[in-house]
Amino acid sequence: MIVAASATAPAQAQQHDSQVWFQANTNVPLADHVRVTLEQIARTSDRQEGLYQTEFGALLGFRILKGVELGIGYRKVGAHNGNN
C-alpha cells in the first residue's frame, strides 16, 4: 500500500519552465545532385530569463541515389545568459 501511494504522489523537485524554440531553414541547389542547407535555431526559456541557446548549421548534401543523400556539415552552438 505504501508503494502505491508513493508512486502516485507528485515529485517534490518539479519545476516549471516555459520554452519557445524558433527555427528557420533553407535549401539552395548548387547542381542537379548537390545542395546546401542552412539552418538557424534560437531557444528561449523563462528559467534562463530569455535567449539561452543559438545554433547555426550548414550542410553540403550530395544525392547519390534516389532517396539517398550523403552530407557533410558544420554546426556552431552558442550559449547565452550564463547557460554553459
- Within-domain flag for 33: yes
- Within-domain flag for 70: yes
Residues 6+ apart with CB under 8 A from 38: 25, 26, 28, 56, 57, 58
- Tell me the pLDDT band of 78, cut-offs 50, 70 and 90: very high
Residue 4 reports pLDDT greater than 60: no
- Within-domain flag for 8: no
- Within-domain flag for 75: yes
Query: Max Cα separation, the chain?
Result: 67
Name the pTM for this structure.
Answer: 0.67
- Tell me the pLDDT band of 44, cut-offs 50, 70 and 90: very high
Residue 38 reports pLDDT greater than 90: yes
Q: Which residue type, as a one-letter code, is found at position 50?
A: G
Tell me how many domains the chain contains.
1
Which domain does 26 fall in, by range? 17-79
Q: Which of 74, 51, 63, 58 is nearest to 25 (CA)?
A: 58
Please give the Cα distance from 17 to 65 (Å, whole number). 44
